[in-house]
Structures are given as C-alpha cells and as structure tokens.
C-alpha cells in the first residue's frame, strides 16, 4: 500500500461540484492499494500513519502525531500512486490492486483509522474527484508498505 500524506490546515474533495468529504487541521491521505496487499497491510499502514510524528509540538518541532493533536483525516483513493514511469512517456499502473481489491482495501484502511479513534472523511472510490488543500508547512510524506521490513 502506498500513501502520500500531506499535513493540512484544511482539505476537501468534490465530485461533480459537490463537496463529499473535508477536514480541518490534520492529514490529507492519498491512498493506493497495490497488488499483493491484504487487510493486514491496510491495518499496519493505518497504524503507521496514526503514529507518524509530523505535527509541531510546543517548541515548533515535528514531534506530535495526528492522534496527539486531535486532527482529522481526509482519505482519498488514488490508484495513480502506483504509476510506473521507468520507461516511455506514459505511466503504467499494472502494479495497482485490481479495482475490486482496491475498493475493499481502501475501505478497510479507512475503517482501521476510525478504529484508532481518528475522524475520517473520504472521497468516492473510482470517481473523478477534485481535491483542494492548504498544505501546512508544507509537509508531504511518502509511505510505502514495500519499503518497510
């Protein structure tokens, strides 16, 4: 599973001009299930994200997790995080999970975040979405389950 996390002061996602999800201070999580991912991977990635210390403490250092600050999450499915750009000019997406698996794992990831006590709003899986955000910092972090032993 791949996550692109952006620390935000606010973020929203719209479908056909209607806002379907939003958050105030917290994280925008762009989420991509990869081939071979399962529910265990989704749960581990949710736990990693919840514990990631990328929010400022009283001294201004990145030393607090989203759970420490009471922040919210806007989770948006984005299969293009699986882009393979190693050759040619057109990215390939064959390493992304099949749509039915991606939908299931994205939903499981969201449920795992909620199970950790985080308020989570979402986009609509497979929809054409427009995402708006104010990146705080800016802070943008890449997490990939394949890069952790």
**What whole-number distance in Å separates Cα of residue 137 and Cα of residue 54?**
10
Phi-psi group of 130: left, alpha or beta (phi > 0 → left; psi -120 to 50 → alpha; rest → beta): beta
Which residues are marked as active site?
Answer: 78-80
Give the alpha-carbon dihedral of 69, 28, 42, 80, to 10 degrees: -160
Residues 105 and 38 sit within 8 Å (Cβ to Cβ): yes
Residues 34 and 97 sit within 8 Å (Cβ to Cβ): yes
């Amino acid at each position: 599973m791949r996550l692109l996390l952006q620390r935000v002061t606010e973020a929203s996602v719209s479908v056909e001009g209607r806002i379907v999800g939003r958050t105030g201070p917290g994280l925008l999580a762009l989420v991509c299930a990869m081939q071979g991912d399962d529910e265990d991977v989704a749960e581990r990635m949710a736990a990693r994200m919840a514990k990631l210390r990328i929010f400022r403490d009283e001294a201004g250092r990145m030393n607090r997790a989203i759970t420490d600050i009471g922040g919210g999450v806007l989770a948006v499915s984005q299969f293009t995080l699986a882009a393979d750009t190693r050759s040619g000019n057109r990215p390939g997406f064959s390493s992304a999970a099949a749509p039915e698996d991606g939908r299931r794992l994205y939903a499981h990831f969201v449920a795992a975040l909620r199970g950790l006590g985080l308020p989570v709003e979402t986009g609509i899986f497979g929809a054409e979405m427009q995402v708006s955000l104010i990146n705080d910092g800016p802070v943008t972090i890449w997490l990939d389950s394949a890069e952790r032993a």
